[in-house]
């Protein structure tokens, strides 16, 4: 069984930043101290920001990947209602749509990648990261008979990604490609990176319209199981081999405006995620259930377990926040020059810890 990692690693970037500039509302002003922060200062874990006293409904956005796996198990296991929180799940096809829902406050809670959240704060959105979830397991694939041997062979070729160019995984891939192979996805591909859901990308790859595709983790797991395509990049190993640390790229998020009025619900959300992850790690049968839930045979369960099982991170404190800042500083030289040069320190909140189980 894989063990949950507590890493000094840095966090990556998950949703698509290109949709954010026109979506951010207000929220750039100084936020008042949250009830949770007052509670922590008083030395009590629950008095100032307790669990909701009765069942409360909140909406949460997910898309295929680690967050979808975890939220499915939160609901299946009743880990949300354990804390008087009834999560209403709104599923999106890819990170750009999820990011837009969070930034526009169409949902109360969700998951976000660091680069997207950094950019959202820079445009005035009041998004906050309230925890950590996972490191990347995404891959880049080509057809088996493709002459492309590595990512450096993609200069002048057509490349697709499940998330936007400034999204978390594509940003991590961009940094790896440029550092290891001097391949710049901002300039060296034919045209621009084509963004689409995983299924559409694989269809375009089969048609020959794309030469290589970056897939979400679910689709990566399926391809590792089926073996239909050849993998030329594995971010789970290639990024840490190149840069010396794991990229903790994904975490639960909300907005300051929601958290200020609903601190108990935000803590309940963090608690449900923690409990679900711990349960996933100790019960191998969960992978069979998840494979079935996403339309895959039971035999694919091991592929999901191998890819996700060692990627979860539920610790959240100064160590993880410092790691996120380290990743931003590592990636920034490889990203679009318009990417913010500084990270708003209010992006990271330690004010909403999970309740003691």
CATH number at residue 226: 3.40.190.10
What is d(CA 176, CA 233) in angstroms, rounded to the nearest whole number?
Answer: 9
pLDDT of the residue at 13:
33
Residue 115: which of 267, 221, 244, 253 has the closest Cα? 253
- Identify the H or E element spanning 214: strand 212-214
Contacts with 333 (C-beta within 8 Å, 6 or more apart), sequence order? none
Q: What is the pLDDT of residue 169?
A: 94
At 8, give phi and psi (nearest 5°).
-85, -5
pLDDT of residue 244: 97
**Cβ within 8 Å of residue 132, ≥6 positions away:** 11, 248, 250, 251, 313, 314, 315, 316, 320
Q: Which structural domain, as residue segments, surrounds residue 158?
A: 139-243
| Residue partners of 94: CB distance under 8 A and separation at least 6 | 16, 63, 64, 162, 163, 195, 196, 197, 198, 216
What does DSSP say about strands 139-143 and 127-129: parallel, antiparallel, or unpaired? Answer: unpaired
Is the Cβ–Cβ distance between 13 and 113 less than 8 Å? yes
Per-residue pLDDT of the chain (357 residues; tens, 9 = 90+): 333 343 333 333 333 333 443 333 333 333 344 444 343 333 334 447 999 999 999 999 999 989 999 999 999 999 999 999 999 999 998 888 999 999 999 999 999 999 999 999 999 999 999 999 999 999 999 999 999 999 999 999 999 999 988 888 999 999 999 999 999 999 999 999 999 999 999 999 999 999 999 999 999 999 999 999 999 999 999 999 999 999 998 999 999 999 999 999 999 999 999 999 999 999 989 999 999 999 999 999 999 999 998 899 989 999 999 888 999 999 999 999 999 989 999 999 999 999 997
The predicted pLDDT at position 192 comes to: 93
Which secondary-structure segment (H or E) carries 231? strand 229-234
- Between CA 47 and CA 124 the distance in angstroms is 32
Reported pTM: 0.84
User: Is residue 194 within 8 Å of residue 210, measured between CB atoms?
Assistant: yes
Same domain, 111 and 168: no
The number of beta carbons lying within 10 Å of the beta carbon of residue 25 is 14
Record the tokens describing residue 262, joined without a space: 């609903």
Residue 124, Ramachandran bin (φ over 0: left; ψ between -120 and 50: alpha; else beta): left
Question: What is the C-alpha to C-alpha distance for residues 227 and 333, in angstroms, rounded to an integer?
Answer: 35
- Classify burial at 260, counting beta carbons within 10 Å of its beta carbon; exposed 0-12, middle 13-18, buried 19 or more: middle
Of the residues 243, 270, 295, the one at which a domain ends: 243
Asked which of 243, 276, 311 is the last residue of a domain, the reply is: 243
The answer to whether residues 63 and 93 touch, using CB atoms and an 8 Å cutoff, is yes
Structural domain includes residue 225: yes
CA distance 234 to 255: 32
pLDDT at 241: 98
Instruction: Judge whether 83 lies within some domain.
Output: yes
SS3 call for 82? helix
DSSP state of 56: E
Are residues 152 and 74 part of one domain? no
pLDDT, position 182: 97
Q: Are residues 104 and 143 in the same domain?
A: no
Find, among 89, 33, 27, the residue nearest to 64 by Cα.
Answer: 89
CA 38 – CA 19 distance, rounded (Å): 35
Residues 183 and 218 in one domain: yes
Q: Are residues 263 and 129 in the same domain?
A: yes
Which 3 state secondary structure label does DSSP give 64?
coil
Could you say which of 213, 243, 273 is where a domain stops? 243
């Amino acid at each position: 069984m894989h063990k949950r990692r507590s890493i000094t690693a840095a966090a990556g970037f998950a949703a698509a930043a290109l949709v954010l500039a026109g979506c951010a509302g207000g929220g750039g002003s100084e936020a008042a101290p949250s009830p949770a922060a007052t509670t922590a200062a008083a030395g009590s874990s629950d008095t100032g920001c307790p669990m909701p006293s009765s069942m409360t409904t909140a909406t949460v956005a997910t898309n295929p990947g680690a967050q979808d796996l975890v939220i499915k198990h939160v609901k299946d296991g009743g880990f949300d209602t354990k804390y008087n929180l009834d999560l209403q799940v709104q599923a999106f096809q890819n990170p750009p749509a999820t990011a837009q829902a969070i930034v526009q406050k169409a949902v109360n809670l969700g998951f976000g990648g660091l680069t997207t959240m950094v950019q959202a704060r820079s445009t005035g959105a009041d998004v906050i990261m309230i925890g950590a979830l996972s490191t990347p397991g995404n891959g880049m694939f080509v057809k088996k008979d493709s002459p492309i041997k590595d990512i450096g062979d993609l200069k002048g070729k057509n490349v697709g990604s499940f998330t936007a160019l400034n999204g978390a995984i594509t940003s991590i891939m961009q940094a790896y490609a440029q550092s290891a192979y001097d391949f710049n996805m901002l300039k060296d591909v034919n045209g621009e990176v084509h963004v689409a859901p995983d299924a559409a990308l694989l269809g375009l790859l089969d048609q020959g319209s794309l030469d290589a595709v970056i897939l979400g983790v679910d689709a990566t797991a399926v391809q590792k199981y089926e073996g239909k395509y050849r993998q030329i990049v594995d971010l789970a190993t290639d990024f840490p081999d190149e840069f010396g640390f794991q990229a903790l790229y994904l975490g639960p998020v909300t907005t300051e405006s929601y958290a200020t009025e609903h601190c108990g619900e935000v803590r309940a959300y963090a608690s449900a995620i923690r409990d679900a992850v711990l349960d996933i790690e100790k019960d191998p049968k969960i992978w069979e259930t998840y494979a079935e839930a996403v339309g895959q045979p039971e035999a694919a369960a091991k592929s999901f377990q191998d890819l996700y099982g060692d990627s979860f991170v539920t610790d959240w404190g100064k160590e993880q926040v410092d790691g996120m800042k380290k990743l931003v500083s590592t990636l920034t030289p490889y990203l679009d020059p318009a990417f913010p040069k500084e990270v708003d320190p209010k992006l990271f909140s330690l004010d909403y810890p999970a309740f003691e189980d």
